[in-house]
Structure 1
Amino acid sequence: MSTAIHDIGYRHYDGPRLGRAHTVRALYQYNLRSVFGLGRGPRAKILPMMMVAFMLLPAAGDIAILSFARTPEALIDYSMYAFYLQMIIAIFLATQAPVIASRDQRFRTVPLYFSRPVGAWDFVLAKFAAFVTALLLLVAVPVTLLHLGFLTMRGTMIEHGSKGVPSVVDQTGYYLAALVGCLLLALVLSSFALLIAAFTPRRGFGVAAVMAVYLISNVVVLIIQVVSLGNGDYDLAGWANLLTPFRLVDGVQARLLGADIGVRGDSVPPAGSGPVFLLGCLAVIGGSLALLTRRFRKAGA
């Protein structure tokens, strides 16, 4: 019996070790691409791209109306844009959060990630940052388009004799405040949607769960506000906004970021309630991330 030793050309890796930060950044980029279906098949791109188009259409249509009406009243309030289109955002949340939070559990790849120098917090942070970025783009780009439309049409409105045309400085201030609201909305919605989706490896269940929480919370708040306003209790109607994510963030915009209260009806949060709504947002973000980290740590054990 003879033996032979074969040289298969194996060599130790002598290149640079990019480290933990590079791994987290790679995870972030991968998850961000996955949200929009990039790097996946055509079917994965259809729904997110449709939601992007649906979010942009009202802004484009409003700019077209502004070009004919030539009056600042035709411009959609920046801070209310996401609130008006919350159903589209909710569909995006429900369909794409499981892509981020459920697939790794369904295919049991979480332990493989944790076998590298990546902890549960790094894993969650990369996913959360990617989903926040995607949602911020979804919401902030149409608002930016509205602002660019105003800047383009402002001179025409003044020449047309329209009254009450805001200055560029004032309107830019409203725009920047709306961007802060968009960021806060992305943080709150991403955290709670990922948490809900992470509790099931099945995408269909994750979609249903996120939509159920959104719809049920809105119905509960609507019932409370209808009853409260019917009894003349405007404060209770305003405080009820704490119970649903979109209105929770809108309370911060209305009472801390200087958004127009007049377009929000009778259920606007009470005066001085802004810090409470902000604390509510921070509690949702912090609590969701803590539970999400615990969930993935268990999945990776």
Structure 2
Amino acid sequence: MSTETSQIHNIGYREYDGPRLGRAYARRSLFSQSLLGAYGLGRSAKSKVLPMILFAVMCVPAAILVAVAVATKAKDLPLDYTRYAIVTQALIGLFLAAQAPQSVSRDLRFKSIPLYFSRPIERVDYVAAKFGALASALFALTAAPLVILYVGALLAKLDFADQTKGFGQGLVSVALLSVLFSGIALVVAALTPRRGFGVAAVIAVLTITYGAVSTVQAIAFEQDAPGAVKWLGLFSPITLIDGLQTAFLGATSSFPGGEGPGTGAGVVYLLVILALVAGSYAVLMRRYRKVGL
């Protein structure tokens, strides 16, 4: 009869005695990984194609506008800094539709959220890192053309004070746009673990709402109800930004008739934007409280 015995083998594992980097490091790592991932960096070559193409397409028109200004010896740029993101909103929508689901849908689909929360990272860290990373990626996409316009304007020897003021106003505008659009896109994408559904839903929310609001605004203007035009702008993300920058940043409005909201209505626009950003963050926190269990 043989007697079973238990043996402990020393296979060379050692306890970790290095520094414990903790929660802040984990949060920064998640932020940087998500930010780089929005442009496919650190991922496969296939993942880099769409964001890099969109980044290039966003920048090329700015370079063309600068070339036109230089060639014609214009006194100002053909397009205001605050108008650039409004004109290129379709590209912004495509970028968010591709990257918002990529940022959150895979973690939901493969149920890896509890693994994050088993580390020194909490729900608020995950949401803040993802929100901040996508907003930063979108800001880079929308601010880069403005930098090209500004540098080109200075090389064309346009008025320094006017260009610097316009550039600053444009940066404030795209910063607000980046935070607002990223929050909305992340909420939509976080509602489904299916990336394809997330892509379609983000496009629908950002583009269909703009088309519907613009149509109704045009009808109101044709029906001699210009006062309703500015209030209808509250129901679409891009018209919210358009109205806010018209009221406070000296931008020209794309609303029918070219008349945007005044200062009083602009305060309402600002409050709605802040409420949407805060609401998006709250919805994300609630969503990840459930899936993180």
Name the TM-score class by shorter chain.
Answer: over 0.9
* Counterpart residue number, 2:126: 123
Distance in 2, Cα, partners of 1:265 & 1:144: 29
User: Which whole-Å deviations, capped at 9, do the CAs of 1:33-71 have from their partners, x for residues lacking one?
Assistant: 111111111111111111001101100111111121111
Aligned with 2:111: secondary structure? Answer: coil
Aligned with 2:156: secondary structure? Answer: helix
* Counterpart residue number, 1:161: none
Mapped pair 1:182 → 2:174: yes
User: Contact 1:102/1:202 (CA < 8 Å) preserved in 2?
Assistant: yes
Q: Pick from 62, 66, 74: which aligns with 1:59?
A: 62
- Written as runs of structure 1 = structure 2, the 5 A alignment for 1:162-201 is 167-201=159-193
Deviation of 1:172 after TM superposition, in Å, equals 0.3
The verdict on how the C-alpha distance between 1:15 and 1:56 changes in structure 2, with shifts beyond 3 A counting, is same
Q: Pick from 198, 207, 213: which aligns with 1:215?
A: 207
The verdict on how the C-alpha distance between 1:169 and 1:207 changes in structure 2, with shifts beyond 3 A counting, is same
* Counterpart residue number, 1:247: 239
Q: Which amino acid aligns with 1:83?
A: I
The verdict on how the C-alpha distance between 1:13 and 1:177 changes in structure 2, with shifts beyond 3 A counting, is same
- Written as runs of structure 1 = structure 2, the 5 A alignment for 1:132-147 is 132-147=135-150
Distance in 2, Cα, partners of 1:300 & 1:274: 39
User: Which whole-Å deviations, capped at 9, do the CAs of 1:244-274 have from their partners, x for residues lacking one?
Assistant: 111101211110122245x665253332211
User: Which whole-Å deviations, capped at 9, do the CAs of 1:223-261 have from their partners, x for residues lacking one?
Assistant: 221211012111211111111111101211110122245
User: Contact 1:94/1:206 (CA < 8 Å) preserved in 2?
Assistant: yes
Mapped pair 1:298 → 2:290: yes
Aligned with 1:48: secondary structure? Answer: helix
User: Contact 1:31/1:131 (CA < 8 Å) preserved in 2?
Assistant: yes
Deviation of 1:201 after TM superposition, in Å, equals 0.6
- Written as runs of structure 1 = structure 2, the 5 A alignment for 1:40-59 is 40-59=43-62
Structure 1: gaps of 5 or more residues: 155-164
The verdict on how the C-alpha distance between 1:203 and 1:10 changes in structure 2, with shifts beyond 3 A counting, is same
Mapped pair 1:277 → 2:277: no
User: Contact 1:114/1:300 (CA < 8 Å) preserved in 2?
Assistant: yes
The verdict on how the C-alpha distance between 1:257 and 1:10 changes in structure 2, with shifts beyond 3 A counting, is same
Mapped pair 1:224 → 2:224: no
Q: Pick from 9, 13, 23: which aligns with 2:12?
A: 9
Distance in 1, Cα, partners of 2:161 & 2:156: 15
User: Contact 1:237/1:267 (CA < 8 Å) preserved in 2?
Assistant: no
The verdict on how the C-alpha distance between 1:7 and 1:81 changes in structure 2, with shifts beyond 3 A counting, is same
Distance in 2, Cα, partners of 1:3 & 1:300: 39
Aligned with 1:102: secondary structure? Answer: helix
Distance in 1, Cα, partners of 2:149 & 2:167: 9
Q: Which amino acid aligns with 1:109?
A: S
Q: Which amino acid aligns with 2:236?
A: T
Aligned with 2:120: secondary structure? Answer: coil
What number of residue pairs does the alignment pair up? 289
Distance in 1, Cα, partners of 2:286 & 2:259: 36
Mapped pair 1:86 → 2:89: yes
Distance in 2, Cα, partners of 1:149 & 1:219: 33
Q: Pick from 234, 259, 273: which aligns with 1:268?
A: 259
- Written as runs of structure 1 = structure 2, the 5 A alignment for 1:150-161 is 150-154=153-157
Q: Pick from 11, 22, 33: which aligns with 1:30?
A: 33
Distance in 2, Cα, partners of 1:299 & 1:289: 16
User: Which whole-Å deviations, capped at 9, do the CAs of 1:87-124 have from their partners, x for residues lacking one?
Assistant: 01111111111001211011111010011121111101
Cα RMSD for the two superposed structures:
1.5
User: Contact 1:225/1:267 (CA < 8 Å) preserved in 2?
Assistant: no
